[in-house]
Structure 1
């Protein structure tokens, strides 16, 4: 059943989506402020359940693409993504019924609310990843045969490009190059699809799940229950699975650079508390991709790897990781739609250059494999 999303809800969505965003999806604080300002100016946004969208309606995912490290230095005006949507409508000669998130990540879970508020359109409670990924073809939309183009990329200087390609890999390649030349950040509208296709090719209710997770972290419960225990309860009854606390550690080194439009790097950690004498490495490309314990892989994409501040339990994005931070590393099993053979060819560990088969994190932890 549809509901109205207000400024308070955005607080929870931004925080919860940063948990599911695996360190990526853009800065949640900036995205939160943008969405709250838009709602304050234009009014609450209608959040639709996927089954409330007519089968013949036009749905368009909207997002920011580029390196998160660049975005925090290059704050947008606020209407760039809405302009991309309107330019796509004009190019196609069709009106959009609803927008939706491309992925579940800090900024990219709230940017669609900016567009929805500014246009008066509803937003669909679903997305194309159930987490965040660094590349545009890494979408359930792509895996289940939705064309990513026509696509519009706009920047903060009112430049824009319309892209038409034969496949979604080429869409990513061209859009990445354009984004780099726009200064490292672009604002996009793409993967236009019908309501019927959206229902079969997306992961449903991720905005609601983000809102629930964010509410847990922001709540002050007199009868103290660990936030992790609350998150376990919520996630274990969702399309994901029960989160697993991989380790507690202190960050001893962060090697991070912006390359080819991505923030790439490695985080080295030393175990603390029950994990002393162990060392850990997490590698990322915008998002956390793989975690090693003493050189042994313990979780890989597409399962989720999330850092939480050990004191506040607030999620940490890859661009915010610093030497000395004490963190809890959390693994969350990804929804089954992300683990099919067809899907793993698009975003499994082999795609990112790791000569490893995908093993579900719950099996790795259980077998110590």
Structure 2
């Protein structure tokens, strides 16, 4: 499969194209880590790869969602596997590109636009890098507005897109095609089994969507949100003000706990990092106990034995001094952290969405989802 620039049938007004520079990538690292709720792949590694792509002469560009042609062929992609693998194992670098080329070969015509599967963590960077390699813009949207651990947990799948045929590519050069899955959950299960065999980390591109579908069911302005969020943290630190307060103000969120990690249970199971972080309160929460339940991402926050926040809202673990998010694979005993609760996008709050991304979908049938109300 040739690795040349894709020739899309659409042309875009240069005034509509946002070309990201190194400062944008720096802010995106911070913002995508916050939105990643502990998962999505290590954002620092993603930042290094994105900066290298810029240094190599690739253009990382973003197109507003409302500028997407209805007939455009849009392919979403991202990493699949356990975040700790993505942090510890060096990528080959062209896994996502091979996914796109295989999709094009299957359908017999070129992809027009690259789409982000999830804006959290390094999965925000991968579409940009692939877009740079192919010469295609990335749409300013994603399918989660955060990170979730399973593939069927996108607004694309929730609202009717069939993600097969799809393509998975690994660091070794293997290309696996999932021709058909009877449900989106079966697709997830098959892909998860495959990624375990491939060493715990790969890229996957789903079946193309039309621009019309994307404009209706994607979560809009994801890259704008992530970069703006990162800039808010950078600006707060530059002004010597509180970055945690800046995040809450920017995202209409709440600072729900401050504590120190006193115990950490974490292991790799079935292609996921699962576990629990236990915390002892400090500052205004001195004398209180809390915990965060993990499956790649932070799923449930308990305080004093009661559920305080749950998916699909965002549970963010931050370094209490820097305001930078700590991904689940980087949690350590003794860290002083702040727990933030940020509201999810309304597309994740519908009854159909809660069946897929609510507490019951993660094995918590007794937890009733209560949306975060901003502080």
Q: Which TM-score tier does this pair reach, normalised by the shorter chain?
A: over 0.9
* Displacement of 1:230: 2.5
Output the CA distance in 1 between the equivalents of 2:171 and 2:265: 29
Match of 2:268 in 1: 258
Contact between 1:31 and 1:111, CA under 8 Å: does it hold in 2? yes
Match of residue 234, structure 2, among 218, 242, 249: 218
Output the CA distance in 1 between the equivalents of 2:367 and 2:339: 21
Match of residue 202, structure 1, among 212, 218, 240: 218
Contact between 1:298 and 1:361, CA under 8 Å: does it hold in 2? no
Output the CA distance in 2 between the equivalents of 1:220 and 1:278: 28
Match of residue 186, structure 1, among 202, 225, 238: 202
* Displacement of 1:223: 4.8
Please state whether the residue corresponding to 1:76 is helix, strand or coil: coil
Please state whether the residue corresponding to 2:274 is helix, strand or coil: strand
Say yes or no: does 1:278 pair with 2:288.
Answer: yes
Please state whether the residue corresponding to 1:30 is helix, strand or coil: helix
Match of 2:299 in 1: 289
Q: 1:275 to 1:233 in 2, by over 3 A?
A: closer
Please state whether the residue corresponding to 2:360 is helix, strand or coil: coil
Please state whether the residue corresponding to 2:323 is helix, strand or coil: coil
Output the CA distance in 1 between the equivalents of 2:368 and 2:171: 41
Coordinate RMSD, CA, aligned: 1.4
Output the CA distance in 1 between the equivalents of 2:60 and 2:238: 32
So what's the TM-score if we normalise by structure 1? 0.94
Match of 2:137 in 1: 122
Contact between 2:98 and 2:169, CA under 8 Å: does it hold in 1? yes
Output the CA distance in 1 between the equivalents of 2:303 and 2:236: 34
Match of residue 152, structure 2, among 117, 126, 137: 137
* Displacement of 1:263: 0.4
Q: 1:270 to 1:221 in 2, by over 3 A?
A: closer
Output the CA distance in 2 between the equivalents of 1:343 and 1:115: 29
Please state whether the residue corresponding to 1:31 is helix, strand or coil: helix
Pairing 1:285-324 to 2, within 5 Å after superposition: 285-324=295-334
The size of the alignment, in residue pairs, is 358
Output the CA distance in 2 between the equivalents of 1:107 and 1:221: 23
Q: 1:315 to 1:328 in 2, by over 3 A?
A: same
Output the CA distance in 2 between the equivalents of 1:214 and 1:352: 29
Give 5+ residue unaligned stretches, structure 2: 1-15
Please state whether the residue corresponding to 2:276 is helix, strand or coil: strand
Match of residue 68, structure 1, among 83, 101, 112: 83
Give 5+ residue unaligned stretches, structure 1: 236-241
Output the CA distance in 2 between the equivalents of 1:216 and 1:141: 29
Match of 1:357 in 2: 368
Contact between 1:23 and 1:307, CA under 8 Å: does it hold in 2? yes
Output the CA distance in 2 between the equivalents of 1:232 and 1:267: 22
Match of residue 128, structure 2, among 110, 113, 120: 113
* Displacement of 1:191: 4.1
Q: Deviations along 1:56-81, whole A, 9 cap, x unmatched?
A: 00111111100011221211011111
Match of 1:26 in 2: 41
* Displacement of 1:15: 1.1
Output the CA distance in 2 between the equivalents of 1:121 and 1:134: 27
Output the CA distance in 1 between the equivalents of 2:335 and 2:301: 17
Match of residue 346, structure 1, among 341, 346, 356: 356
Output the CA distance in 2 between the equivalents of 1:104 and 1:150: 22
Output the CA distance in 1 between the equivalents of 2:330 and 2:50: 21
**Deviation above 4 Å: which 4+ runs of structure 1?**
220-224
* Displacement of 1:224: 4.2
Match of 1:84 in 2: 99
Output the CA distance in 1 between the equivalents of 2:242 and 2:311: 27
Match of residue 328, structure 1, among 320, 325, 338: 338
Say yes or no: does 1:150 pair with 2:165.
Answer: yes
Output the CA distance in 2 between the equivalents of 1:169 and 1:307: 28
Greater CA deviation, 225-234 or 204-213?
225-234
Match of 2:108 in 1: 93
Output the CA distance in 2 between the equivalents of 1:162 and 1:222: 48
Contact between 1:85 and 1:188, CA under 8 Å: does it hold in 2? no
Match of 1:245 in 2: 255
